[in-house]
Structure 1
Amino acid sequence: MNWMNSEAFTLFGQHIIWSDMVGNILGLITLALGWRRFVWTWPVQFLSGLVLFGAFYGHLTGSAGKQVVVMVVALYGWWQWQRDRDKGDDGRIAVRFATWSERGAMLAAAAAGTVAVALLFTAYPQLSWDPWPDAYIFVGTIVAMYAQAKGMVEFWFAWLLVDLVGVPLNFANGYAFSGFVYVIYGALVLWGMRDWWLRSRRNAQPALEGAPA
């Protein structure tokens, strides 16, 4: 499997690695499936995490560790969507906005988790040469995937915030395909955000109509 970490081709002076390219293509497919609320988004996410773990292992320990968490959360998301998919009006997962208490809990978890992981990376420099952005991406990804598993529209906002740091970090560490592909990620995130936003309003409408006067 050494060929997976070998160079596939050069694009705009950047060396494209096979594992980086394959993992991110699977990531794009995952995002598209998530947008359409297909349960298969989670097995593909798991496979993407497995490939990217191989790409990052030994170079970006925090990013490699993130992929382990991605795979664990993908299993949780698969279970959650299997359980909840019949709640939607079309046999797929129903989406909604998070409550203010859920938003506060996710923000608090993201802030506390980032500080804790960054301090761990700082104490053990072999885990990450760039502890704070690595910790931010690590924890932000967990929060985003948790929100996705729960069918929260905020999942898309969380991914955008993670990408703002993830894109330059990938370019800086030689994972150019990851940086290039996030242009497409950005478009899919915006389209997916719009779809989930509108769908959450339609899902909320029957509840409002059925509420007592």
Structure 2
Amino acid sequence: MSLLDPLHATAFTAFGQDVIWSDMVGNLAGLAALALGWRRSLLTWPVQLLSGVILVVAYASADLGGSVGKQLIVIIVAAWGWRQWRLGRGTGGGRIAVRFATWRERAALAAGAAAGTLAVGTLFTAFPDLSWNPWPDAYIFVGTLVAMVAQARGLVEFWFAWLLVDLVGVPLAFDSGLPFSGMVYVVYLVLVLWGMRDWWLRSRTQTPGPALEGAAA
């Protein structure tokens, strides 16, 4: 018996599909990480890292190579984002001073998303074993990376990127036999809209300055 077998076990059934423990626990951790990101808490990054590790197991069981790769990228970017916020938090608890991206930064994010989706989608198409649904999988893979990079830099556009990922992530999760992921994506959508409003308002009240500021967590 493998140590990972319990993570592949069924937790409950929803919409006629079995929900495995790794899918449920990993997505709940991801949901917590998003909520912590909305509060600008430093804890968002270690929780996101843990979520990525668990979801690697879930997506590997569903043969979603793109989503597995996405979670590996999530782990790397979470470690980087954690370092970025720690370096800028001063003596406080790791709050982030948010702002809108410059037009140059927006262009770079959009160009990176388009080029990355084209490259990854082409790779998945050429090697079908990596993903049974290459283009949506590639879109989510790259969109998640773009969102996390924007989050690490304290850009309000981070929420817009997550919104665009959610619009594809919900149907793909249900089609892939991961109903809990699909349900969590719906909750993500609500948090994204709420967090977007909060960061938007904060960006209007803060004076320009360093990307990170110290504050109590």
Q: Same fold (TM over 0.5)?
A: yes
Change (3 A) 1:91 1:109: closer
Deviation per residue, 1:30-71 (Å, 9 max, x gap): 011000000110000000000000111151111011100000
Q: What's the counterpart of residue 87 of structure 2?
A: 83
- Alpha-carbon offset, residue 163 of structure 1: 0.7
- Closer, same or farther in 2 for the Cα pair 1:91/1:116, shift >3 Å? closer
CA distance in 2, matches of 1:91, 1:26: 19
1:63 correspondence with 2:76: no
Change (3 A) 1:91 1:169: closer
Amino acid at match of 1:9: F
TM alignment of 1:86-125, pairs within 5 A: 86=90, 92-125=95-128
SS of residue paired to 1:204? coil
Q: SS where residue 23 of structure 1 aligns?
A: helix
Give the match for residue 191 of structure 2. 188
Q: Is the 8 A contact 2:170 2:186 kept in 1?
A: no
**Counterpart pick for 1:8 among 7, 11, 32:** 11
Residue type matched to 1:138 in 2? F
Deviations 1:116-140 (A, max 9, x none): 1111111111111111111100000
- Structure-2 separation of matches of 1:10 and 1:76: 36
What secondary structure does 2:19 align onto?
strand
Name 1:72's counterpart in structure 2. Answer: 76
Q: Which runs of 5+ in 2 are unaligned?
A: 210-217
What is the number of residues matched between the two proteins? Answer: 206
For residues 7-32 of structure 1, the C-alpha deviation after alignment (integer angstroms, 9 at most, x for no partner) is: 11112323211100000000110011
Could you tell me the TM-score, scaled by structure 2's length? 0.90
Distance in 1 (CA, whole Å) between partners of 2:168 and 2:129 is 21
The Cα shift of 1:87 comes to: 10
**Within 5 Å, which residues of 2 pair with 1:20-59?**
20-58=23-61, 59=63
Q: Which runs of at least 4 in structure 1 moved beyond 4 Å after TM superposition?
A: none
**Partners of 1:84 and 1:171 in 2: CA distance:** 39
Change (3 A) 1:180 1:84: same
- Specify the alignment match of 1:209 in structure 2: none
Contact 1:94–1:151 (8 Å) recurs in 2: yes
Quick check: 1:37–1:92 contact (8 Å CA) kept in 2?
A: yes
* Higher relative contact order (CA closer than 8 Å, sequence separation 6+): 2
CA distance in 1, matches of 2:50, 2:21: 15
Q: Distance in 2 between matches of 1:127 and 1:11?
A: 27
Question: How many angstroms apart in 1 are the aligned matches of 2:178 and 2:128?
Answer: 21
More helix per residue: 1
* Contact 1:21-1:178 within 8 A present in 2 as well: yes
